[in-house]
Amino acid sequence: MSFNRTANAIDLAPLMDILKPYKQNPRGALIPVLQQAQDVYGYLPQEVLETIASELRVPVAEVFGVVTFYAQFHLNPRGKNIVRVCQGTACHVRGGAGILEAVSHHLDVKPGETTKDLNFTLETVACLGACGLAPVMMVNENTHGRLTPDDIPGILDSYLA
Protein backbone atom coordinates (compact mmCIF):
# COMPACT_ATOMS: atom_id res chain seq x y z
CA MET A 1 0.00 0.00 0.00
CA SER A 2 1.33 3.42 -0.82
CA PHE A 3 0.27 6.90 0.17
CA ASN A 4 1.18 10.30 -1.12
CA ARG A 5 3.72 11.55 1.34
CA THR A 6 4.05 15.25 2.00
CA ALA A 7 7.08 16.86 0.41
CA ASN A 8 8.84 17.54 3.68
CA ALA A 9 8.95 14.61 6.03
CA ILE A 10 6.92 15.29 9.12
CA ASP A 11 8.57 15.04 12.49
CA LEU A 12 6.48 12.51 14.38
CA ALA A 13 8.28 12.91 17.71
CA PRO A 14 5.83 15.47 19.15
CA LEU A 15 2.96 13.18 18.17
CA MET A 16 4.54 10.33 20.10
CA ASP A 17 4.66 12.55 23.17
CA ILE A 18 0.98 13.35 22.76
CA LEU A 19 0.13 9.67 22.40
CA LYS A 20 2.18 8.43 25.32
CA PRO A 21 -0.32 9.02 28.17
CA TYR A 22 -3.13 7.40 26.19
CA LYS A 23 -1.43 4.19 25.07
CA GLN A 24 -2.24 2.24 28.20
CA ASN A 25 -5.89 3.21 28.13
CA PRO A 26 -6.92 4.36 24.65
CA ARG A 27 -10.62 4.54 25.56
CA GLY A 28 -12.07 7.87 24.42
CA ALA A 29 -8.58 9.09 23.44
CA LEU A 30 -9.10 9.63 19.72
CA ILE A 31 -10.63 13.12 19.72
CA PRO A 32 -8.32 14.66 22.37
CA VAL A 33 -5.30 13.20 20.50
CA LEU A 34 -6.50 14.63 17.19
CA GLN A 35 -7.06 18.03 18.84
CA GLN A 36 -3.60 18.12 20.34
CA ALA A 37 -2.00 16.89 17.11
CA GLN A 38 -3.73 19.60 15.14
CA ASP A 39 -2.49 22.17 17.66
CA VAL A 40 1.07 21.05 16.95
CA TYR A 41 0.93 20.51 13.17
CA GLY A 42 -1.67 23.13 12.27
CA TYR A 43 -3.65 20.48 10.36
CA LEU A 44 -3.84 16.70 10.23
CA PRO A 45 -1.47 15.27 7.62
CA GLN A 46 -1.94 11.70 6.39
CA GLU A 47 1.09 10.35 8.26
CA VAL A 48 -0.21 11.74 11.51
CA LEU A 49 -3.59 10.09 11.05
CA GLU A 50 -1.99 6.74 10.20
CA THR A 51 0.26 6.89 13.21
CA ILE A 52 -2.62 7.76 15.50
CA ALA A 53 -4.62 4.85 14.09
CA SER A 54 -1.89 2.32 14.65
CA GLU A 55 -0.87 3.58 18.09
CA LEU A 56 -4.43 3.72 19.41
CA ARG A 57 -5.26 0.45 17.62
CA VAL A 58 -8.26 1.75 15.67
CA PRO A 59 -8.83 1.30 11.92
CA VAL A 60 -7.62 4.19 9.73
CA ALA A 61 -11.13 4.38 8.27
CA GLU A 62 -12.54 5.12 11.71
CA VAL A 63 -10.01 7.89 12.25
CA PHE A 64 -11.01 9.43 8.91
CA GLY A 65 -14.66 9.07 9.78
CA VAL A 66 -14.17 11.06 12.96
CA VAL A 67 -11.96 13.70 11.32
CA THR A 68 -14.48 14.37 8.57
CA PHE A 69 -17.44 14.46 10.98
CA TYR A 70 -16.19 17.32 13.13
CA ALA A 71 -15.83 20.83 11.72
CA GLN A 72 -12.79 21.48 13.89
CA PHE A 73 -10.46 19.10 12.03
CA HIS A 74 -8.61 20.01 8.87
CA LEU A 75 -6.92 17.74 6.36
CA ASN A 76 -5.12 20.55 4.51
CA PRO A 77 -2.56 23.14 5.59
CA ARG A 78 -4.05 26.42 6.73
CA GLY A 79 -3.07 30.06 6.79
CA LYS A 80 -0.88 31.69 9.42
CA ASN A 81 -3.90 33.60 10.70
CA ILE A 82 -7.34 32.11 11.10
CA VAL A 83 -10.18 34.57 10.63
CA ARG A 84 -13.51 33.33 11.92
CA VAL A 85 -16.42 35.58 11.12
CA CYS A 86 -19.47 34.94 13.27
CA GLN A 87 -22.64 34.08 11.40
CA GLY A 88 -24.70 33.34 14.51
CA THR A 89 -28.18 34.75 14.98
CA ALA A 90 -27.26 37.82 16.98
CA CYS A 91 -24.56 38.73 14.47
CA HIS A 92 -26.83 37.93 11.54
CA VAL A 93 -29.47 40.46 12.61
CA ARG A 94 -26.78 43.07 13.22
CA GLY A 95 -25.08 42.85 9.86
CA GLY A 96 -22.80 39.80 10.13
CA ALA A 97 -23.25 39.04 6.44
CA GLY A 98 -21.80 42.43 5.51
CA ILE A 99 -18.75 41.74 7.67
CA LEU A 100 -18.19 38.39 6.01
CA GLU A 101 -18.47 40.01 2.62
CA ALA A 102 -15.98 42.72 3.56
CA VAL A 103 -13.46 40.14 4.81
CA SER A 104 -14.01 37.93 1.81
CA HIS A 105 -13.55 40.91 -0.49
CA HIS A 106 -10.45 42.21 1.27
CA LEU A 107 -8.72 38.82 1.30
CA ASP A 108 -10.16 37.71 -2.03
CA VAL A 109 -11.13 34.27 -0.75
CA LYS A 110 -14.38 32.52 0.04
CA PRO A 111 -15.21 31.01 3.43
CA GLY A 112 -13.24 27.80 3.85
CA GLU A 113 -10.38 29.01 1.65
CA THR A 114 -6.84 30.12 2.36
CA THR A 115 -5.16 33.07 0.69
CA LYS A 116 -2.47 32.24 -1.89
CA ASP A 117 0.25 33.76 0.27
CA LEU A 118 -0.91 31.46 3.11
CA ASN A 119 -1.38 34.46 5.41
CA PHE A 120 -5.09 34.00 6.12
CA THR A 121 -7.71 31.30 6.24
CA LEU A 122 -11.29 32.52 6.25
CA GLU A 123 -13.91 30.54 8.15
CA THR A 124 -17.38 31.15 9.47
CA VAL A 125 -18.57 30.15 12.91
CA ALA A 126 -22.01 30.03 14.48
CA CYS A 127 -21.68 32.19 17.58
CA LEU A 128 -18.54 33.04 19.48
CA GLY A 129 -20.53 33.76 22.63
CA ALA A 130 -19.79 37.48 22.44
CA CYS A 131 -23.21 38.30 21.00
CA GLY A 132 -23.43 41.48 23.10
CA LEU A 133 -20.77 42.92 20.81
CA ALA A 134 -22.33 41.73 17.56
CA PRO A 135 -21.23 41.66 14.81
CA VAL A 136 -18.11 39.84 15.87
CA MET A 137 -15.13 38.07 14.34
CA MET A 138 -12.20 36.25 15.83
CA VAL A 139 -8.69 36.43 14.44
CA ASN A 140 -6.61 33.67 16.01
CA GLU A 141 -7.44 34.02 19.73
CA ASN A 142 -8.55 37.66 19.58
CA THR A 143 -12.19 38.64 19.42
CA HIS A 144 -13.07 41.84 17.57
CA GLY A 145 -16.53 43.23 18.22
CA ARG A 146 -18.93 46.04 17.24
CA LEU A 147 -17.54 45.80 13.71
CA THR A 148 -18.44 47.76 10.63
CA PRO A 149 -17.25 46.79 7.13
CA ASP A 150 -14.95 49.83 7.18
CA ASP A 151 -12.99 48.39 10.12
CA ILE A 152 -12.04 45.22 8.28
CA PRO A 153 -9.00 46.22 6.17
CA GLY A 154 -7.29 47.88 9.14
CA ILE A 155 -7.85 44.93 11.47
CA LEU A 156 -6.71 42.32 8.97
CA ASP A 157 -3.65 44.28 7.89
CA SER A 158 -2.57 44.61 11.50
CA TYR A 159 -1.97 40.84 11.53
CA LEU A 160 0.49 41.05 8.66
CA ALA A 161 3.20 42.88 10.57
Binding site for another protein (CB under 8 A): 27-32, 34-35, 62, 65-66, 69-73, 87-90, 92-94, 98, 101, 105, 125-134, 136, 141-146, 149
Q: Are 122 and 110 in contact (CB under 8 A)?
A: yes
Residue 88 as a binder of ligand FES (CB under 6 A): the answer is yes
H runs (alpha helix) in the chain: 13-23, 30-41, 46-56, 60-69, 89-92, 96-107, 152-157
Residues 107-126 that bind ligand FES (CB under 6 A): none
Burial bucket for residue 152 (CB in 10 Å: 0-12, 13-18, 19+)? buried
The DSSP letter of residue 9 is P
DSSP bridge pairs for 86: 125
Residue 134 as a binder of ligand FES (CB under 6 A): the answer is yes
78 touches, from ligand FES, another protein, none (C-beta below 5 to 8 Å by class): none
Least separation in angstroms between CB 136 and ligand FES? 4
CA distance 45 to 139: 23
Q: Given candidates 48, 85, 86, 156, which one binds ligand FES under the rule CB under 6 A?
A: 86
85 touches, from another protein, ligand FES, none (C-beta below 5 to 8 Å by class): none
Which spans of this chain sit near ligand FES (rule: CB under 6 A)? 86, 88-91, 127-131, 134, 136
